[in-house]
Amino acid sequence: MMSAHDQNPASHTERNDESTTHFGFQTVDKHEKESKVANVFHSVAQQYDIMNDLMSFGIHRLWKRFTIDASGVRPGNKVLDLAGGTGDLTAKFSQLVGREGKVILADINSSMLNVGRDKLRDKGLVQNIEYVQANAQYLPFEDNTFDVITIAFGLRNVTDKDMALRSMYRVLKPGGRLLVLEFSKPEHELVNKAYDFYSFNILPKMGEIVAKDGDSYQYLAESIRMHPDQETLKSMMEQAGFEQTSFKNLTGGVVALHKGYKF
Amino acid sequence: MQKVLGEPLLFAQALSAALETLINQLLRYNMQGTRALRPLSGKTLTVQLTELNMPLSFTISHEKVHVTSSDEHYHCCIRTSVSTLLAFNKNQQLTDLIKNDQLDIQGDLKVAQRFAEIAQTLDIDWQSEIAKRIGDMPTYQLGRVGRSLREKINFARTQIQADASEWLVHEQRLLVTAGELAYFSRDVEQVTAKLHALQQRLDALNK
């Protein structure tokens, strides 16, 4: 079984060759990745929530709750939920920041944004949420705008992660914090092997049966392996300017929450 | 338990999610609705129970209670144990609890009292809620069975208490009856009085 962390950490690929990047295990031109990732998410948008529950056995809800707890969000805060997809984090943030606060749900993919918007409106959450179709590398906001920025299960799909982190740093207020919730490298080898088997054998089949799209879930498994491990991502955040960076492994390192501040 | 899910804090998230669902469900059934929450909108009460070793914060927003496991921001924070918390609303005990280091309160006490008031004034018509789901007749039957069961349990409890008391006092002679205790106390009082009188006489003779 291929283990990308051992072979080819993503950040190194990006730094070694300026014109190419990875799309799962494939090496593609940078400008090509965006449209390929877009196709994946256009395809899975409608079944995204149900697949999340199935794939993670519902644990993704606890990972997201952990992120909310770590955000320290309070009434009146301005929050950017980047790659917010179907709006799980936005729904909670919207209620916690209250009428005086604001949450921006941003995603590069219009299909995901539409699903998120419909879901949140159905829940009656309309007062303090704005929807923005935006590329994480070129955030269309003024400097020092947000108290909290979260990006949950989105950073690994971004073409140039370093550029995206710099962009997030720019729009974060001094004193604000960035939270990156993302799949990572399991701490124990046994878990790693079981996780590899699950990701490459069961996950694509599950995608084929439920979402009628095995290829997209094959990409999901590959993209997770190509994502930088905990320490690499932490140093990438530091290079982007974030301070007091730290990470917490969740579920044995299958997922990690990285935190960094702008001062 | 905390390590089962891999990392220490997911237990806190599971607990806060369960509590949040339970509390909001109870509020939905409340006859008074969620009106009582309005004055507390935007307020956060944090509770740190010694038994749990993690904070639980209750924030009111959109007429719902949101439970998080974070103590970064609150209007009132209570650090105590479960048993102390149950006696919290009795104002006369508050000072004693604080003096005895059983309770530590930071922030606006009124926020905590308002939360306690809401909990106490919950008024849920369980029969009506159950009837909505299983129908009137089964609810009536269920209620009858429940009442009869409660009466039987109460009767059994009283009976067991009486039997245990009988066994301890009369059969095992481990405890004394109320009459025996009163008789013994009277004897003690008489001896004390006699001793006091004797002491006075001795004092008079010594002068």
Superfamily of domain B10-124: SCP2 sterol-binding domain (3.30.1050.10)
The whole-chain average pLDDT of chain B stands at 84
A70 assigned binding-site residue: no
Provide the pLDDT confidence category of residue B93 given band limits of 50, 70 and 90. Answer: low
Which listed CATH number (1.20.120.1200, 3.40.50.300, 3.40.80.10, 3.40.50.150) goes with A58-186+229-261? 3.40.50.150
Report pLDDT digits (tens) over A121-159.
988 888 899 999 999 999 999 999 999 999 999 898 888
**Taking the mean position of all CA atoms in its chain, how far away is CA A151?**
5
Contact criterion met (CB < 8 Å) for B41 and A98: yes
> Taking the domains of chain A in order of start, what are their residue ranges?
58-186+229-261
Q: Which of B7, B16, B41 is the closest to A251 by Cβ?
A: B7
Average pLDDT, chain A: 84
pLDDT, one tens digit per residue, over A4-40 is 333 334 444 444 456 777 766 667 677 766 676 676 6
Instruction: Please name the helix (run of DSSP H) or strand (run of DSSP E) that holds residue A52, with its range, or none.
Output: helix A48-56
Give me the phi and psi of A27, to 5 degrees please.
Answer: -100, 125
- In this predicted structure, the answer to whether residue B150 has a pLDDT above a threshold of 80 is yes
Q: What residue spans in chain B does CATH classification 3.30.1050.10 cover?
A: 10-124
The predicted-structure confidence for B104-116, as pLDDT tens digits, reads as follows 888 888 888 888 8
Whether the pLDDT of residue B185 is over 80: the answer is yes
Residue B23's contacts (CB-CB under 8 Å, 6 or more residues apart) are B58, B65, B67
Q: pLDDT tens for residues A165-219?
A: 999 999 999 999 999 999 888 888 888 888 888 888 887 888 778 767 777 777 7
**Beta-bridge partners for B61:** B64
Helices A48-56 & A30-44 angle (0-180, nearest 10): 90
Tokens of A165: 């982190």
- The whole-number average pLDDT for the span A229-254 is 93
At CB < 8 Å, which residues of chain A contact B? 59, 61-63, 65-66, 68-70, 72, 74-75, 92, 95-96, 98, 248-254
Task: Report pLDDT for A123.
Answer: 87
